[in-house]
Amino acid sequence: MKELFELGIVFRGFVLVKHKFKKLSTLKGIQESSKDLRGAFISAINSFATNAFNNTSLEYLESDKILFVFKLAEVKALDCNSEEPVILYGLIHKPKKDPDKLVKKFFEKVEPIINLFVTKYTNKDFTELDQFEPFAEEIKNYF
C-alpha cells in the first residue's frame, strides 16, 4: 500500500506500537505530531462516536491531504475482566477520488494484523509498553 504513511495500534488512549512508512512532512503543510496526542485523539473520537451514535464506530476522518482510518477490535487485558476496544489506525495519502474504495482496501489489508495483535496480546499486562516493540517489525514486514 504505497499511500500509507503510518500504521499504529491504540489502547486506552496510548499508542502501543506504530511503524512509519513515510514521513508526513513530505506533504506540503503537514507536520509531525506527538504520538501521545495522536493516541488520545483516536480514543476520544472513537469513544465519542460510539456513545453519541449508539455504538457506531468511525471508519475514517478526512482532511484535504490525509485519510485517518480506524479499524476497531476488542482485546482483554490482564487487569480487566472484560474486553476493551483496541484501535488500529492508518494515516493514508488521500486520493483525489473515492476515498471509500481506499478505506475498504485498507480494512481488507489490515484485518490479519489486528487479529494477530489481539491473539498475541490477550490477557497481557498492557502497562508494559516495551513488550509491543517487536510488533512494529510485524507491521513493517506485513507491508
pLDDT for res 2: 66
Reply yes or no on whether the pLDDT at 35 is more than 70.
no
Question: How high is the pLDDT of residue 33?
Answer: 62
Cα separations (Å) of 130 from 60, 90, 135?
Answer: 28, 21, 10
Q: Summarize pLDDT for 42-55 with one digit per residue, the tens.
A: 889 888 888 888 76
> Per the structure, how many domains does the chain have?
1
Average pLDDT over residues 85-111: 91
The residues with which 83 forms a beta bridge, in sequence order, are 76
Range of the domain at 32: 4-142
Which CATH number covers residue 56? 3.30.450
Ranked by mean pLDDT, which of 24-28, 43-47, 99-103, 108-112 comes out on top? 108-112
* Secondary structure (3-state) at 122: coil
pLDDT, tens only, 55-65: 677 889 888 88
Predicted confidence at residue 97, as pLDDT, reads 84
10 pLDDT above the threshold of 90:
yes
Percent of the chain with pLDDT over 70: 90
What pTM does this model have? 0.88
* CA dist list (Å): 127 to 37, 52, 65, 104, 130: 18, 29, 34, 32, 9
